[in-house]
């Protein structure tokens, strides 16, 4: 068990190192000069001398590898640099906005899981009824629409037309409803397809059929047996959807003026504020990797066969 855990930690550290390289390179090699953009936004006409002086002040005149090492060393200490725009600490800004993004992503994940589970169970309980088919069709159809279109429709109908909820901001408990619905509906379609397929596959297993032959009611058979078989894949799917929600919150946070890190990232991209953009991408990437690692541990607890396979793969000469 210790060898497996050490191997997983080593793999995780390697993945995080590769992610840090990709994040730094993709943001640093983007077109445009941040120094020129900062001067223009400050109302100063950029000149060669002014741009060179600002690049030296920001450390942008140093070789790329030296800048990466300095950035990585500081990031390992929890220091994500200072904003090029207002020179404020990026770490403090991210930490101040992160709870709002996590609250939105968590609410959206609850919406996705709840709608998908409800529709999948209805389809399994009564597979040929009109209600289950309509619910599945509506969920998939809405999930195929871009989130910003869904958000605009919800704002127009619920917030502006019916005046039931605020149009944006984080002014109270009800403010999270519309952005969470906007994000959650897209994830619900993905979860629904996976859950329906897994439940249908589980219902064809021999021990589930045997339970049906012995007279076990269909609902109890689905909830007790089929749903438990589909649980590991469902946990994986929920994790992937949650990771997508964290990354996709940028559009929704901007649309609903939600004070999260996504809105901060959009403003930083417009201002060519590289430290903030790098910090946002790094935080989302690290959160996704850690989320997947925790999910793997949960799956090992749910399915003992995974632990057996892990020990066999870690053993010398074990099967691959």
Looking at residue 150, what is its pLDDT? 85
Looking at residue 302, what is its pLDDT? 59
Q: Which CATH number fits domain 97-294: 3.20.20.70, 3.30.1330.40, 1.10.3720.10, 3.40.640.10?
A: 1.10.3720.10
Looking at residue 320, what is its pLDDT? 40
With 50 as the cut, is the pLDDT of residue 318 above it?
no
Which sequence spans correspond to the domains of the chain? 97-294
Of 21, 35, 17, whose CA–CA distance to 67 is shortest? 21
Kindly report, residue by residue over 27-73, the tens digit of the pLDDT.
777 777 778 877 877 777 888 888 888 888 878 888 888 889 998 89
Looking at residue 305, what is its pLDDT? 53
Those residues with Cβ within 8 angstroms of residue 287's Cβ, 6 or more apart along the chain or in another chain: 243, 246
Kindly report, residue by residue over 85-142, the tens digit of the pLDDT.
888 899 999 999 989 888 888 888 888 888 888 888 877 777 777 776 777 677 677 7
Q: Pick 247 or 20 by higher pLDDT.
A: 20
Q: Is the pTM of this model over 0.75?
A: yes
With 60 as the cut, is the pLDDT of residue 317 above it?
no
- As a whole number, the mean pLDDT across the chain is 80
């Amino acid at each position: 068990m210790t060898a497996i855990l050490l191997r997983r930690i080593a793999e995780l550290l390697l993945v995080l190192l590769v992610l840090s390289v990709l994040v730094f390179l993709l943001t640093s090699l983007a077109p445009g000069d941040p120094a020129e953009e900062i001067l223009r936004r400050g109302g100063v006409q950029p000149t060669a001398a002014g741009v060179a002086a600002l690049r030296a002040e920001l450390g942008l005149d140093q070789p790329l590898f030296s800048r990466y090492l300095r950035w990585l060393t500081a990031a390992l200490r929890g220091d994500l640099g200072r904003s090029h725009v207002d020179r404020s600490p990026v770490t403090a800004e991210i930490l101040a906005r992160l709870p709002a993004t996590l609250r939105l992503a968590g609410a959206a994940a609850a919406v996705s899981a709840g709608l998908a589970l409800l529709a999948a169970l209805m389809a399994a309980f009564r597979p040929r009824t009109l209600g289950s088919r309509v619910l599945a069709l509506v969920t998939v159809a809405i999930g195929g629409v871009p989130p910003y279109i869904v958000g605009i429709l919800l704002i127009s109908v619920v917030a502006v037309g019916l005046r039931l909820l605020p149009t944006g901001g984080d002014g109270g408990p009800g403010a999270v409803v519309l952005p969470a619905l906007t994000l959650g509906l897209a994830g619900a379609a993905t979860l629904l397809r996976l859950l329906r397929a897994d439940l249908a596959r589980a219902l064809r297993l021999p021990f589930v059929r045997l339970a049906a032959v012995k007279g076990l009611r269909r609902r109890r058979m689905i909830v007790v047996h089929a749903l438990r078989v589909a649980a590991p894949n469902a946990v994986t799917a929920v994790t992937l959807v949650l990771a997508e929600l964290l990354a996709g919150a940028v559009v929704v946070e901007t649309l609903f003026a939600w004070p999260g890190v996504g809105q901060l990232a959009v403003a930083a991209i417009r201002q060519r504020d590289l430290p903030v953009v790098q910090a946002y991408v790094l935080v989302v990437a690290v959160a996704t990797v850690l989320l997947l690692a925790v999910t793997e541990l949960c799956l090992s607890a749910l399915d003992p066969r995974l632990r057996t396979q892990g020990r066999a793969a870690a053993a010398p000469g074990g099967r691959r």
